[in-house]
Structures are given as structure tokens and as C-alpha cells.
């Protein structure tokens, strides 16, 4: 341990294999390989942040170069080599940040230095942290050296993103996947650190630190450091104060919100959410915790409340267990889907707080309706109920009028907007618009004009050339200016106007001239004919610079 450091993450950094927590199997494997003189040419450590990748790399370097040997590895009184490696200033141990030295030139320099034997130790060791940042050319330049290095040379790679490391490199290394630290082990460790630092923090607050750290020792020590610095010397830091420090709200508030949500109490739901928001909780954090509670409600029967699970306490576990009995899996899955969708929409909303309140109100209208004292619920998927004729007949004959009203109310609550919108046009098509007939292309253009569909009219006249128009099938060619949604919009309108399905096909044939082009050609022909007349000749004689641009016909003409 670095006793001189003031930062806990550095002060309590492991110096030997015995100091490691949660990685006993990996430590024992490497220890045995060095003990029997069968250490790998290259080691590759991968895992999430703060689980000990760089720390184990340094311990391996010390184990290979300790003057006392691996069996008598320095623990308290370090030898010259171990002391230098711990302070990152050993002449034969190169600890490099691959993110800042990622080019092929840096790698070539590294290989050039590797040709020289170590100065004061048995092995020359290169530790490359965040090695996934190396360029492809840099990796390729290392391939041969990794496969057949000199006896005195060792490589140790550490990365959080193993997928970015080329397979050709991984196959030349001895790979170790470092797992997240078990909650109970991490709790025990930070409690010892707290006692060593003479801090006053209760176990519930420490469990919150373990939960937030997500199995990362460094994160846990950093959070503990914050807790120790912010605590009152006279009193013990409890869970509520720790939640304020780390911006983490009490799960019991969220569980109460679920209770009122399933009861349909809009006022209480909004009040609870606002109290959570006033604590400084961001909407994204709220939604993620909302999803977590949904998961627990759905899977509470398969979750055991033991020493490795600090997400729920005994009281919260029992409350969620009671809630899970009153709600069906279908509703929970629907809630999950709505929450994920809202989470993805937050970035495009200016006022996220208002969006969250509307999200909760939407969920209120998706709750299930009780239809009996035994809390049997109406099926969410109303389409299945409508298709099930036998059940519908029973409802019609056996249920009383008030039960029918409850069912109608439930269906109207659950029925989404898209289903309501699609049902309305179908009624209009059958009753009013089915008698319309469109016999030719000209009638279609005139109908677009009557229906005020000016965009469709413009496309038909300007950018479309008719090839054929027969029996609800229109075959056309078009130019590059045609709107990409033209076919979709025209098909929808034709179906709406005529009550029949139309096919609009594209043809390789050129087809007839568009109406606009026809008009232009007719105008040009009229201009040419006019130029042959006496009136035009007389005008040109009087005004030589005059030019005939357009002709307008009178009604008589």
C-alpha cells in the first residue's frame, strides 16, 4: 500500500498477489507459471475499469524481477527492483499509455529498444495500458516480436475493449478476463479501509457505495473518499445523506410511485415524481432506476435476498413482492417498452422534466382494470378477445350491464391512437367514397384539383408521363424531380376516394408527354404559326428588336 498518498484509490492499491481481491484464480495461475519458470511471452488483461488490470501488470513485473524470487516476494520491505517498479521509475520496466503512443513509429522505437538486454534486472518488460488504442499498423509491427521475443523480454497488455484488439495479437498472448468484484468482498474491503481511515459511515451507506461502483474497486474507493471528506466529524454518515452526496435517490420513493401508478392515482404519482426531481435526480437516472424496479417486480420470485445483492433491502424486497402479485407480466412488459422508448426520446425534448410527467400520465392509462374482488384482470390484448367468439358470447349473455361498461372502458383506455385512426377512414370509404370512378388520367388530375390535393396534381402534370391507364392499374414513367413519396401518397388517396386498391407501376417505356410538356409544345407551335402571319411581320418591320414570347387565345378563337 502507498501509505504516503492521500487519495484512497492510490493509497490502498495492491502491491502483491495477496493484496488482490476478487481475482484469486488469475493470481494463482500467474504465480504458478512464474514459480515453475513457465511465464508467457505476453500477458493480456481485460475487464471493466477499476478491477486491477494495470495493478496486476505491475505485480507481475515485480514477481519476474524481485531479487528475493517469487516465493519470497517483497511484501513490506521492498527490494530495490520492487520499490522502483512500484514508483514507476524502473529503468527496465516501460509503462506506456497506448492512447498517446499509438502510431507505428512509436512501436518501431519500442522494438528497437527491446533489442538491448535489461540493465539491472532479469527481464525487460513493456506494460501497454489501453492497448486497444494502438493503430492497425502498430499492431502489425509487433506481431513477429510478440511471437518470438528474446528470452529477457516480456509484454503485458491491458484493455477495457478486448474486441478492438486484433485476433492475431490475442492468439499470441496469455489472456486473462478480470471479473467484477463480488459485492460482499467489495463491501468487506471498503469497510476495512473506512475503519483504517477512522471514518464514521454506517453499513447502509457503504452498501450504496458498493452498488454505485458496479464491481469496480477504484470507483468504490473514490466514492468512499468523497463520503469521508463530506462527513460530519460528530455524527455518522447514514444512507439518506450518502444518497444526497452521490445524487442517488431512495428506492422506497420509486416503489411508492409504482403503488400509486397501479392504483391510478395521478395526483400522488406526480407529487412523488416531483419530490424525486427536486432532489436533483436527472430524468435519465430516474428512468434507469424505473427500469430496474420493473425488472425486480417481474422477476422477484427468482431473486434471492442474500449478502451479494445490495440493490434491495428487506423492506423493499417485501413491498415489491406484494406489488408483483397484483399486476400481470403483460402490463410490466408494456411498461418496459414505453420506458425504453421514452429514454431514447429524451435527447430531442427541450424540457425533460415535463416529458417525464407526461410519460407517467401515459402509463396511468395503460394500467389494468379490476373486474372482480379476486383481482382478476381483463386481457391487455383486446384483439384476441374480439377474435375469441366463444368468450364474447359469454360476455354478452352472462355479464350484467355494468360489467360490459367496464370492459368498454378498459378497451378504450388501452386502444392506441393508430388503431383508432385506421378505423375511421375505413368507414368513410365504404359509405361515401366507394361510388367514385376514375376512368382516365385526365379525370385523375381533375379529381386531385377538386380534392385540393395540389401537390399530387403538380406531380401528375409536371413529373409523370402516362404509359397506360387500365382497370385500377396505372403504369407511368417519370423524371428525376418526382417526389419520393408520390406513389405512396397517390395509392392512399386512390384507395380513399374509390374504396378500391390501385396498382401504380413504373415502366421503362417513355410514355406520353406530361401535361406541362404538352402545353409548352402547343405554345411553341402557336408562336411558330404566328410568326408566319402578316401581323407579326408588320410588328417586326416597325420594331426590329421585338420578340414574340407568348400567345393568348380569346374565347371566340
Tell me the CATH number at 263.
1.20.272.10
Mean pLDDT of the chain: 79
Tell me the CATH number at 472.
3.30.300
Buried b (16+ CB within 10 A) or exposed e, 389-415: eeeeeeeeeeeeeeeeebbeebbeebe
Beta strands 473-478; 464-470: pairing state: antiparallel
Q: What grid cell was written down for 330?
A: 403483460
Q: What is the pLDDT of residues 242-269, one digit of tens each?
A: 878 887 766 778 888 888 888 888 899 8
Q: Which range, of 173-187, 213-227, 526-540, averages the lowest pLDDT?
A: 526-540
Q: Is residue 470 part of a domain?
A: yes
pLDDT at 408 over 70: no
Q: Is residue 425 part of a domain?
A: no
pLDDT at 377 over 50: no
Do residues 300 and 316 lie in contact, with contact meaning Cβ atoms separated by under 8 Å? no
pLDDT at 495 over 60: yes
Q: Is residue 525 part of a domain?
A: yes
Q: Is residue 432 part of a domain?
A: no
Do residues 165 and 173 lie in contact, with contact meaning Cβ atoms separated by under 8 Å? no
Q: What is the pLDDT of residues 125-135, one digit of tens each?
A: 999 988 998 88
pLDDT of residue 314: 67
Distance CA 333, CA 158 (A): 39
pLDDT of residue 494: 86
What's the total number of domains in the chain?
5
Distance CA 114, CA 125 (A): 9
Distance CA 526, CA 518 (A): 12
Structure confidence at residue 410 as a pLDDT band (50, 70, 90):
very low
Question: Averaged over 95-107, what is the pLDDT?
Answer: 82
Q: Are residues 505 and 529 in the same domain?
A: no
Question: 3-class DSSP state for residue 201?
Answer: strand
pLDDT of residue 46: 93
pLDDT of residue 420: 43
Q: Are residues 27 and 170 in the same domain?
A: yes
Structure confidence at residue 372 as a pLDDT band (50, 70, 90):
very low
pLDDT at 140 over 50: yes
Percent of the chain with pLDDT over 90: 10
Q: Are residues 165 and 19 in the same domain?
A: yes
Q: Is residue 414 part of a domain?
A: no
pLDDT of residue 97: 85
pLDDT at 398 over 80: no
Q: Are residues 298 and 203 in the same domain?
A: no
Beta strands 153-159; 124-129: pairing state: parallel
Q: Are residues 44 and 173 in the same domain?
A: yes
Q: What is the pLDDT of residues 411-455, one digit of tens each?
A: 444 444 344 444 444 444 344 444 578 888 888 888 888 888 888
Q: How far is CA 346 from CA 283, 284, 285, 468, 477, in A?
A: 8, 8, 12, 49, 43
Dihedral sign for Cα atoms in the order 540, 546, 551, 553:
negative
Q: Are residues 189 and 83 in the same domain?
A: no
Q: What is the pLDDT of residues 148-189, one digit of tens each?
A: 888 899 999 999 999 999 999 999 999 999 988 888 889 999
Question: Averaged over 457-470, what is the pLDDT?
Answer: 85
With residues binned 3-state (H G I as helix, E B as strand, rest as coil), the percentages for the chain, rounded to 5, are: 55, 10, 35
Of 203, 224, 246, the last residue of a domain is 246
Q: Is residue 399 part of a domain?
A: no
pLDDT of residue 557: 53
Structure confidence at residue 400 as a pLDDT band (50, 70, 90):
very low
Residue 384, Cα to own-chain centre: how many angstroms? 32
pLDDT of residue 413: 43
Q: Are residues 45 and 160 in the same domain?
A: yes
Do residues 138 and 174 lie in contact, with contact meaning Cβ atoms separated by under 8 Å? no
Of 246, 270, 288, the last residue of a domain is 246
Quick one: CA torsion of 481, 483, 487, 489, rounded to 10 degrees? -150
pLDDT of residue 221: 92
Question: Averaged over 345-363, what is the pLDDT?
Answer: 86
Q: Which residues pair with 46 in a beta bridge?
A: 159, 177
Distance CA 336, CA 330 (A): 10
Q: What grid cell was written down for 114?
A: 527491446
Q: Which range, of 8-12, 72-76, 280-284, averages the lowest pLDDT?
A: 72-76
pLDDT of residue 310: 57
Distance CA 502, CA 487 (A): 10
Q: Are residues 218 and 358 in the same domain?
A: no
Tell me the CATH number at 228.
1.10.8.60
Domain assignment of residue 520, given as a range: 513-557
Q: Are residues 232 and 269 in the same domain?
A: no
pLDDT at 502 over 70: yes
Structure confidence at residue 312 as a pLDDT band (50, 70, 90):
low
Q: Is residue 407 part of a domain?
A: no
Q: Are residues 294 and 322 in the same domain?
A: yes
Q: Is residue 374 part of a domain?
A: no
Do residues 156 and 41 lie in contact, with contact meaning Cβ atoms separated by under 8 Å? no
Q: Are residues 214 and 312 in the same domain?
A: no
Of 222, 246, 270, the last residue of a domain is 246
Q: Are residues 333 and 475 in the same domain?
A: no
pLDDT of residue 485: 83
Q: What is the pLDDT of residues 35-93, one digit of tens each?
A: 888 889 899 999 988 999 999 998 999 889 888 888 778 877 788 888 888 888 888 88
Amino acid at each position: 500500500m502507498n501509505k504516503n498518498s492521500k487519495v484512497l484509490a492510490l493509497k490502498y492499491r495492491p502491491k502483491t498477489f495477496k493484496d488482490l481481491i476478487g481475482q484469486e484464480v488469475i493470481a494463482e495461475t500467474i504465480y504458478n507459471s512464474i514459480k515453475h519458470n513457465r511465464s508467457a511471452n505476453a500477458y493480456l488483461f481485460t475487464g471493466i475499469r477499476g478491477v486491477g488490470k494495470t495493478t496486476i501488470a505491475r505485480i507481475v513485473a515485480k514477481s519476474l524481477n524481485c531479487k528475493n524470487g517469487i516465493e519470497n516476494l517483497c511484501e513490506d520491505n521492498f527490494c530495490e527492483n520492487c520499490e522502483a517498479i512500484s514508483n514507476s521509475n524502473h529503468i527496465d520496466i516501460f509503462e506506456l499509455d497506448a492512447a498517446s503512443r499509438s502510431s507505428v513509429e512509436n512501436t518501431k522505437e519500442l522494438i528497437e529498444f527491446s533489442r538491448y538486454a535489461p540493465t539491472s534486472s532479469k527481464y525487460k518488460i513493456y506494460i501497454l495500458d489501453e492497448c486497444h488504442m494502438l493503430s492497425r499498423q502498430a499492431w502489425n509491427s509487433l506481431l513477429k516480436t510478440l511471437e518470438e521475443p528474446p528470452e529477457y523480454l516480456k509484454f503485458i497488455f491491458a484493455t477495457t475493449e478486448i474486441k478492438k484488439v486484433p485476433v492475431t495479437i490475442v492468439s499470441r498472448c496469455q489472456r486473462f478476463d478480470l471479473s467484477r468484484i463480488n459485492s460482499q468482498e467489495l463491501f468487506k474491503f471498503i469497510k476495512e479501509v473506512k475503519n483504517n481511515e477512522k471514518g464514521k459511515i454506517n453499513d447502509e451507506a457503504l452498501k450504496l457505495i458498493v452498488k454505485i461502483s458496479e464491481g469496480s474497486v477504484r470507483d468504490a474507493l473514490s466514492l468512499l473518499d468523497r463520503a469521508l471528506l463530506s462527513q460530519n466529524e460528530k455524527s455518522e454518515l447514514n444512507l439518506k445523506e450518502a444518497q444526497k452526496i452521490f445524487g442517488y435517490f431512495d428506492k422506497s420513493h420509486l416503489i411508492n410511485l409504482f403503488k400509486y401508478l397501479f392504483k391510478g392515482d395521478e395526483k400522488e404519482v406526480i407529487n412523488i415524481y416531483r419530490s424525486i426531481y427536486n432532489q436533483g435526480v436527472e430524468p435519465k437516472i430516474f428512468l434507469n432506476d424505473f427500469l430496474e424496479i420493473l425488472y425486480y417486480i417481474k422477476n422477484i420470485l427468482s431473486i434471492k435476498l442474500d449478502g451479494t445483492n445490495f440493490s434491495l433491502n428487506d423492506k423493499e424486497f417485501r413491498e415489491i413482492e406484494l406489488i408483483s402479485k397484483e399486476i400481470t407480466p403483460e402490463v410490466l412488459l408494456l411498461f418496459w417498452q414505453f420506458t425504453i422508448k421514452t429514454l431514447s426520446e429524451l435527447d430531442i425534448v427541450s424540457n425533460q422534466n415535463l416529458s417525464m410527467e407526461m410519460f407517467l400520465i401515459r402509463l396511468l392509462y395503460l394500467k389494468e382494470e379490476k373486474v372482480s374482488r379476486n383481482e382478476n384482470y381483463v386481457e391487455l390484448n383486446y384483439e384476441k378477445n374480439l377474435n375469441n367468439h366463444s368468450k364474447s358470447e359469454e360476455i354478452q349473455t352472462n355479464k350484467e350491464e355494468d360489467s360490459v361498461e367496464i370492459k368498454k372502458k378498459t378497451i378504450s383506455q388501452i386502444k392506441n391512437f393508430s388503431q383508432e385512426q385506421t378505423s375511421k377512414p375505413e368507414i368513410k370509404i365504404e359509405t361515401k367514397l366507394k361510388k367514385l370512378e376514375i376512368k382516365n388520367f385526365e379525370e385523375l388530375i381533375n379529381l386531385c384539383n377538386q380534392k385540393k390535393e395540389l401537390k399530387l396534381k403538380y406531380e401528375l402534370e409536371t413529373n409523370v408521363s402516362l404509359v397506360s391507364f387500365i382497370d385500377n392499374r396505372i403504369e407511368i414513367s417519370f423524371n428525376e424531380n418526382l417526389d419520393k413519396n408520390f406513389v405512396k401518397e397517390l395509392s392512399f388517396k386512390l384507395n380513399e376516394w374509390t374504396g378500391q386498391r390501385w396498382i401504380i407501376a413504373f415502366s421503362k417505356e417513355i410514355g406520353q408527354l406530361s401535361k406541362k410538356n404538352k402545353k409548352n409544345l402547343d405554345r411553341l407551335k402557336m408562336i411558330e404559326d404566328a410568326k408566319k402571319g402578316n401581323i407579326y411581320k408588320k410588328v417586326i418591320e416597325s420594331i426590329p428588336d421585338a420578340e414574340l414570347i407568348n400567345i393568348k387565345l380569346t374565347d371566340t378563337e
